[in-house]
Amino acid sequence: MTNGSSGIDGAAFLRIIYGTLRVDEGPAKCCRVNQAGQPNVRWTSAREWRILSRVTPQDRIVFVVDDDPGIRQALTDLLSTFDLQVITFGSAAEYIAYPKPDLPACLVLDVELPDANGLDLQSQAGQLHPQIVFITGHGDIPKSVRAIKAGAVDFLTKPLNAPDLVRAIEAAITQDRLARRDRAELAELHRRLSSLTPREREVLPLVVSGLLNKQAAAELGISQITLQIHRGKIMTKMKADSLAELVRMAVRLEIPLGHARQT
């Protein structure tokens, strides 16, 4: 089948994408070669990927959205050699409807799809996508600029270069893993914040604003002893080892610091 956006059939793409790689110096090394068959750039092989990534296929996933089944199969075959779990879709609707596992991921997304524009899908409201690597047969500067500005990891043109694609996917998965960790940490902070009593939630912004105990107590019309009790409970519930750590938590939670310390 011919890919409408790239103008090449799936078999040809498979030959092109694998034709950029040549085994050299045993199974552990791989080189990129030019048309003359001479090595250009030393590159990491699938074996080295497995060693350096230190993860199993179950630890990350790659979603591929492309309307050409030949392209989808070629990418599946290539990425599987790097122990990447690959799930492919022929349309944006299929991808959106698929229940996503809770794993670090990368979305390899064709710009031109039968039912949607990949750039529009990237910015679709209400959709939390993994990090995106765009692929296209008709790349242009405005599209690539728009994609990168919106957060895409890379914008690659067909025929794809296998080392560039895999490097982009590795970077995307790493970024997605970090983003997931950040979201999980923020969710945990919100959980801790929700455990505070209404009075403790009133005390918190005063404490992290730098007010002295007597100033915060006066602000709320309570005694300093009562204020200190609330402050201690806040530190315990928020699991903060110091005031500085509590301030950092408040900043991440976007708690307004409405008071300046008075001398």
Q: Is the peptide bond before 159 cis (omega within 30 degrees of 0)?
A: yes
Tens-digit pLDDT profile for residues 87-112: 999 999 999 999 989 899 999 999 98
Tokens of 43: 């590159």
Tell me, what amino acid is at 156?
A: L
Q: Residue 242 burial by CB count (10 A; 0-12/13-18/19+): exposed, middle or buried?
A: exposed
How far CA 187 is from CA of 79, 132, 193, 253, in Å, comes to: 32, 23, 10, 10
Cβ atoms < 10 Å from Cβ of 26: 8
Q: How far apart are CA 228 and CA 103, in angstroms?
A: 42
Tens-digit pLDDT profile for residues 11-69: 444 444 444 333 233 333 333 333 343 333 333 444 444 444 554 446 889 999 999 99
C-beta of residue 13 within 8 angstroms of C-beta of residue 158: yes
Tens-digit pLDDT profile for residues 168-190: 999 999 999 999 999 999 999 99
C-beta of residue 75 within 8 angstroms of C-beta of residue 86: yes
Q: How far apart are CA 46 and CA 30, in angstroms?
A: 9
Homologous superfamily of 56-181: Response regulator (3.40.50.2300)
Domain boundaries, the chain: 56-181, 195-252
- Mean pLDDT in residue range 120-126: 74
- Mean pLDDT in residue range 113-121: 85
Tokens of 50: 């497995």
pTM: predicted TM-score of the whole model, two decimal places: 0.68
Which range has the worst mean pLDDT, 116-125, 147-156, 192-201?
116-125
| 3-state secondary structure at position 249 | helix
pLDDT, position 188:
98
Interhelix angle for 162-194 vs 224-238, to 10°? 150
CATH topology of domain 195-252: Arc Repressor Mutant, subunit A (1.10.10)
